[in-house]
Structure 1
């Protein structure tokens, strides 16, 4: 007697197990930029404080940096997939370079050093992201599973 082979449930299109539910993915869609924004804002405020006392302006700088980082992350995440792979990589590289450059500028180093360091980060992120998008898309720019 022949039976149909059981099909695995809980797997995505790539054949990998989908460990998290749809609800978890939706929560993390918003929790990740906000959580990383909080870490970034605290980091900016801590570097700017330079071991001195915590002031109201320092706290305001931290929360403003948190909001700017999280909103920029959400905007880049929404817009970048609509672009072709080169612009997709450029957008994430620019976001990373700007975030790092602002963070590095809080150390008190010269603006030239801050710009040079952020350009290195931007170029590195562009190379990695372009390679990733180039190897995960077909010639028309559609994602390959």
Structure 2
């Protein structure tokens, strides 16, 4: 008599990792066309801008949260800083601000976020990058 082989169990789909990214993506997607319309009527182009912005922000946050742990803490902090700086700079550029001021604000915001993320990762991980045991 032969024993039957165990059926491999596939990974179940979980919405746990998508709650925060989708919520922040929707808020960002609502905020972008609000800034772009500048008090005027809402157009299809602005709705498209909001939808694309929401998808890009939600996907970026999900990727950084889900796969960021494989990066060293310095690179992961720089990725969070770059992502947040680009997001803030883009929103500021929608208000018809100059490229220089949008870039400057995005760079400053990204530097602060990257520094804060590095501090958080450095104080909550051991030298090998695993979560601290405390």
So what's the TM-score if we normalise by structure 2? 0.84
**Which residue does the alignment assign to 1:100?**
88
Distance in 2 between the 1:79 and 1:90 partners? 14
What are the Cα deviations for residues 23-71 of structure 1, in whole angstroms up to 9, with x where unaligned? Answer: xxx5342121111101101100000000000111111111111111111
**TM superposition shift of 1:88:** 1.2
Distance in 1 between the 2:42 and 2:120 partners? 41
Check conservation: 1:80, 1:92, Cα contact below 8 A: no
**Which residue does the alignment assign to 2:8?**
none
Instruction: Report the RMSD for the aligned CA atoms in angstroms.
Output: 1.2
**TM superposition shift of 1:141:** 1.8
Distance in 1 between the 2:35 and 2:45 partners? 13
Distance in 2 between the 1:123 and 1:43 partners? 23
Distance in 1 between the 2:42 and 2:16 partners? 31
So what's the TM-score if we normalise by structure 1? 0.78
Aligned length, in residue pairs:
120
Distance in 2 between the 1:101 and 1:47 partners? 13
User: 2:45 pairs with 47, 57, 74, which one?
Assistant: 57
Distance in 2 between the 1:132 and 1:32 partners? 19
Distance in 2 between the 1:113 and 1:43 partners? 19
Structure 1 stretches lacking a partner, 5+ long: 1-25
**TM superposition shift of 1:84:** 1.0
**Which residue does the alignment assign to 1:121?**
109
**Which residue does the alignment assign to 1:47?**
35
Please show how residues 75-114 of structure 1 align to structure 2 within 5 Å: 75-114=63-102
Distance in 1 between the 2:112 and 2:79 partners? 13
Distance in 1 between the 2:59 and 2:15 partners? 16
Structure 1 moving runs of 4+ over 3 Å: none
Distance in 2 between the 1:31 and 1:141 partners? 25
